[in-house]
Structure 1
Amino acid sequence: MKVKDAMHKGAKWVGPETPISQVAKMMKDLDIGALPVGKDDRLIGMVTDRDITCRGFTDSADPSKLTAEKVMTKGIVYCTADEDIEDAIRLMEAKKIRRLPVIDDKKRMVGMLSLGDVSYAVARNLSGEVITAVSAHHS
Structure 2
Amino acid sequence: MAQHVRDIMTSDPATVEPQTSVAEVARIMRDEDLGVVLVTDGDNLRGVVTDRDLVVRSISRGGDPERTSVADACSDDLVTVSPDEDLGHAVELMREHSVRRIPVVDHGHPVGIVSLGDMAMERDPDSALGDISAARPNT
Flag whether TM exceeds 0.5 (same fold): yes
Aligned length in residues:
126
Match for residue 81 of structure 1 among 80, 83, 88: 83
- Greater CA drift, 4-13 or 34-43: 34-43
Helix, strand or coil at the partner of 1:28:
helix
The answer on whether the counterparts of 1:44 and 1:75 sit within 8 Å (CA) in structure 2 is: no
Determine what percentage of the aligned residue pairs are the same residue: 34
For residues 104 and 109 of structure 2, the distance between their equivalents in structure 1, rounded to whole angstroms, comes to 8
- Alignment root-mean-square deviation, CA: 2.0
1:135 is aligned to none
For residues 58 and 108 of structure 1, the distance between their equivalents in structure 2, rounded to whole angstroms, comes to 31
State the one-letter code of the partner of 1:112: I
The answer on whether the counterparts of 2:24 and 2:66 sit within 8 Å (CA) in structure 1 is: no
Match for residue 49 of structure 1 among 48, 51, 72: 51
State the one-letter code of the partner of 2:15: W
Q: How does 1:1-139 map to 2 (within 5 A)?
A: 1-104=3-106, 106-123=107-124
Structure 1 length normalisation: TM-score?
0.82
- The CA deviation at 1:93 is 0.6
- Deviations along 1:84-132, one digit per CA (max 9) or x if unpaired, are 000001001100001111112x2221111011110111247xxx8xxxx
- The CA deviation at 1:75 is 2.3
Segments of structure 2 that go 5 or more residues without pairing to the other structure are 130-139
The answer on whether the counterparts of 2:18 and 2:71 sit within 8 Å (CA) in structure 1 is: yes
For residues 17 and 64 of structure 1, the distance between their equivalents in structure 2, rounded to whole angstroms, comes to 11
Segments of structure 1 that go 5 or more residues without pairing to the other structure are 129-139
